[in-house]
Amino acid sequence: MKKLSSYHEIFPKKTPIHLLFNSKSIHMNVNRILTRGFTFTLLIILVSTLIIACKKELHEEKKSVQEQELKQLREAVSSFGDIRKAQAAGYDTEVTGYRSQMGFHYINASLVDDKFEITKPELLLYAPYGKDSLKFVAVEYATPINDINNPPPVPEGFSGSNDVWEINTEFNLWTLHVWVKLENPHGIFAPHNTKLP
């Protein structure tokens, strides 16, 4: 078999270029390429839109679940605006003294375990209000850490990723604040609230 080495061996000199490619075949090829490119681009846009919509829907669903969980919590602690009711329910020991941008921490020692239970926070936070009274401002969840150098995984917590647990090395606990009674400019799960002194 003879090896072809040049354009002129494939297409003899006497064959005009316009006979090799007529305008109809070029037009069809260009149209085919453009149509495929447009279809592919449209497909990419459609798939991207679906992915974004699904992520947004999932985020909204998690947000809705979290709102329901916060509603359950608020209902469970609604009577604790009166500190005497909180004390009667077992939140009878103040453990920290006043902490800046947090308040006083009243613990229910019988609830301290390695379980996260939305309606059973381990601590209630109260802030000075007026001359001689305290105002219920937040709850705090706390789960013990036996070995502070090798802490267990972060507790499950609320749905979504907004609740950020912290390690309290003073008491060897995983802790999470939830500002259910005093709005927090830094978010409901922030550890400190700048509305408090």
Three-class SS string for the chain?
CCCCCCHHHHCCCCCCHHHHCCHHHHHHHHHHHHHHHHHHHHHHHHHHHHHHHHHHHHHHHHHHHHHHHHHHHHHHCHHHHCHHHHHHCCCCEECCCCECCCEEEEECHHHCCCCCCCCCCCEEEEEEECCCEEEEEEEEEEEECCCCCCCCCCCCCCCCCCCCCEEECCCCEEEEEECCCCCCCCCCCCCCCCCCC
pTM: 0.69
* Size of the chain, expressed as the number of residues it contains: 197
pLDDT of residue 4 exceeding 80, the answer is: no
Instruction: Kindly report which listed range (19-33, 54-68, 74-88, 92-106) carries the lowest average pLDDT score.
Output: 19-33
pLDDT tier at 145 (50, 70, 90 boundaries)? Answer: very high
When pLDDT is averaged across residues 186-190 and rounded to a whole number, the result is: 97
Give the whole-number percent of the chain exceeding pLDDT 70. 69
Q: And the tokens for 11? A: 């297409």
- List the single range of 45-54, 175-184, 185-194 with lowest mean pLDDT: 45-54
Q: What confidence score (pLDDT) does residue 131 get?
A: 82
Mean pLDDT value across residues 159-186: 96
| Poorest-pLDDT segment among 29-33, 156-160, 171-175 | 29-33
